[in-house]
Amino acid sequence: MKTLYIIRHAKSSWSFDLDDHDRPLGFRGRKDVMTMGKYLSHNTSIPDIIISSTASRALNTALFIADDWGYPESEIQVDKNLYHASAPQIISILKNQQEDCVAIFGHNPGLTELANRFVKDYISNVPTGACLGIEFNMDNWSEIENAGAQQIFFHTPKSIKMTLRH
């Protein structure tokens, strides 16, 4: 059994004249990632490995959530190939993993495309700051394309805030 956490970067800032790759998290993104990190740290297992896009907004999302999980920042793997990667590119990265639980931090449309390769109910969009958990019935990540998969959760910052209010 293998577990994948698909996490889209939190909302970015457009306040600076920067290349897309260098855009930081915006005010709402910083708030949302703190909410998501706290929620994940109390409701999910700590991943064995975190792999993040090199983009500032994705890496900072990974850092904040890693802090809440108690995952050492020095062990986060940064992969430039995750920057705007397609689902096949992400699957290629996953196929090389050995760990049981992998967290991927990246971008749309690739993350939504990846999610829809494996979940039963169509997801029109993995929104910023969202986390989707999928369990795979397989022994090795190299088997991912043919493995049975089951969605175990799908949380957005908005859905978590609504849960916390009740």
With tokens 């190939």, the residue in question is 81
Q: Report pLDDT for 100.
A: 97
Q: How far apart are CA 32 and CA 130, in angstroms?
A: 9
Q: Report pLDDT for 88.
A: 97
Residue 70's nearest CA partner among 46, 38, 91, 50 is: 46
Q: How far apart are CA 38 and CA 114, in angstroms?
A: 25
Q: Report pLDDT for 156.
A: 94
What would the pLDDT profile of 84-139 be if each residue is shown by its tens digit?
999 999 999 999 999 999 999 999 999 999 999 999 999 999 999 999 999 999 99
Residue 57's nearest CA partner among 89, 103, 19 is: 19
Q: How far apart are CA 5 and CA 13, in angstroms?
A: 24
pTM: 0.94
Q: Which amino acid is at 12?
A: S
